[in-house]
């Protein structure tokens, strides 16, 4: 990739239009064909691309326009995976009252979010993201970022005891096939020339920031009761390193995105805490870049990054959940703070999370998302000019 200093990028998702959301519902109900849906989604992707290019973004995405959310879309691409609404998952939870209470506390609408569940032995029915990349690349000269759910996220979310146990007695058994699926996808993406692949692993923060007496949270639909935190972090690290083994350094940048939840604009219901407890994962994970949220005070001290093993940092500088657009000066000030700990060539700028993680529950409007990206690009340009001087 031929990129300027302080390259700007996105986390992945962009708000979906009314037309795309209707098309998603119609496709699921069988009212329109796959071809008809793709035609509508193609136009939405081009619309999303134009917002990013006009804002001056260096590494663009397709806005995840074809996805119901950043994880459940895999149900359509894998064999023996069923997509369930959160309300339907209640059928497989022992303590239903407790789970419903958690949903209410966390501001989660049980009828508007979905989760993939393994119902048998999984395998790739069709590529998860390769075809989406090939379409986007036809329409832009920019570098492209492709986003995929990480192996730990998929393992935690897809292993639902009442549905999965016959095929996979434990979530660790399921993880073996998830790693295989992701490696197959990553091989195809690298061969196709994808510039950047980002794996999303937000459940890592659920491990360390959830109250000790809460062994289940909504976080990404993960229903598996928590084991020992350190054991789970080691498990998550091993899964990611299995996926990236032999993949790093082959021309495609690989990163891991870790946030504290992006399902609500109510800051008080989202997880909070500094990244220090995840240092064992961050310092040992075999990727090029860690993509972290830092535009919210919930992320804690920036200096935590000094223990991350010298990797690049995708530095969150705008908050996708607020309507207030960060000023160029505010963004520059944040970058100046992180420059105390990292070399300039290791700093990328991005929002904390996507602007539309869940199709039915976007965090912001197109217009505000555009203004935030434009401010980020302007800040990057000023920083480059400052360095050259």
Closest by CA position to 10, among listed 43, 54, 58: 58
Which parts of the chain fold into alpha helices (H)? 18-29, 34-55, 86-89, 96-105, 130-137, 151-158, 161-164, 171-192, 203-209, 229-244, 279-284, 328-338, 366-388
pLDDT of residue 94: 64
Q: What is the largest CA-CA distance in the chain?
A: 64
Q: Is 341 helix (H, G, I), strand (E, B) or coil?
A: coil
Q: How far apart are CA 236 and CA 224, in angstroms?
A: 14
Closest by CA position to 319, among listed 273, 379, 259, 277: 259
Cα separation values, 355 from 60, 200, 222, 300, 326, Å: 14, 15, 21, 22, 15
pTM above 0.85, yes or no: yes
pLDDT of residue 113: 64
pLDDT in tens, the chain (389 residues): 789 999 999 999 999 989 998 998 899 889 999 999 999 999 999 999 999 999 999 999 999 999 988 788 999 999 999 988 766 777 776 666 666 655 555 445 555 567 889 999 999 999 999 999 999 999 999 999 999 999 999 999 899 888 899 999 999 999 999 999 999 999 999 999 999 999 999 888 878 776 543 444 444 444 445 568 889 999 999 999 999 999 999 999 999 999 876 555 556 556 667 788 899 999 999 999 999 998 876 656 688 888 788 899 999 999 998 999 999 999 999 999 999 999 999 999 999 988 876 666 666 689 999 999 999 999 999 999 987 64
User: What backbone torsions phi and psi does residue 298 show, to the nearest 5 degrees?
Assistant: -65, -15
Neighbours of 132 (CB within 10 A): 23
pLDDT of residue 341: 93
Give all domains of the chain, ordered by start, each with its CATH number.
18-388 (3.20.20.210)
């Amino acid at each position: 990739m031929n990129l300027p200093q302080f390259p700007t990028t996105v986390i992945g998702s962009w708000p979906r239009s009314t037309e795309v959301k209707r098309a998603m519902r119609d496709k699921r109900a069988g009212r329109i064909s796959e071809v008809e849906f793709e035609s509508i989604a193609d136009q939405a992707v081009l619309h999303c691309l134009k917002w990013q290019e006009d804002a001056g973004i260096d590494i663009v995405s397709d806005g995840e326009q074809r996805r119901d959310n950043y994880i459940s879309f895999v149900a359509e691409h894998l064999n023996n995976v069923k997509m369930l609404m959160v309300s339907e998952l209640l059928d497989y939870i022992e303590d239903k009252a407790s789970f419903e209470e958690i949903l209410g506390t966390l501001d989660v609408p049980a009828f508007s979010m979905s989760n993939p569940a393994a119902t048998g032995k999984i395998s790739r029915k069709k590529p998860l993201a390769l075809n989406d990349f090939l379409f986007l690349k036809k329409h832009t000269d920019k570098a492209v970022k492709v986003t995929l759910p990480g192996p730990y996220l998929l393992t935690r979310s897809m292993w639902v005891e009442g549905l999965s146990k016959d095929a996979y007695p434990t979530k660790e058994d399921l993880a073996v096939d998830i790693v295989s699926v992701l490696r197959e996808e990553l091989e195809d993406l690298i061969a196709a020339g994808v510039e950047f692949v980002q794996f999303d692993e937000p459940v890592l923060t659920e491990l360390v920031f959830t109250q000790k007496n809460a062994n289940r949270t909504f976080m990404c639909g993960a229903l598996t009761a928590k084991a020992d935190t350190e054991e789970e972090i080691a498990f998550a690290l091993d899964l990611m390193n299995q996926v990236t083994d032999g993949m790093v350094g082959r021309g495609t940048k690989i990163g891991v995105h870790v946030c504290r939840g992006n399902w609500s604009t109510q800051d008080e219901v989202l997880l909070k805490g500094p990244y220090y407890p995840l240092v064992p994962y961050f310092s040992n994970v075999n990727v090029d870049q860690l993509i972290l949220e830092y535009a919210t005070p919930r992320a804690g001290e920036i200096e935590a990054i000094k223990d991350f093993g010298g990797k690049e940092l995708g530095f969150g500088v705008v908050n996708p959940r607020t309507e207030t657009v960060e000023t160029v000066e505010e963004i520059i000030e944040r970058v100046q703070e992180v420059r105390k700990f990292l070399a300039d060539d290791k700093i990328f700028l991005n929002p904390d999370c996507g602007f539309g993680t869940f199709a039915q529950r976007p965090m912001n409007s197109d217009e505000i998302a555009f203004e935030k990206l434009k401010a980020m690009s302007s800040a990057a340009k000023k920083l480059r000019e400052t360095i050259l001087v």
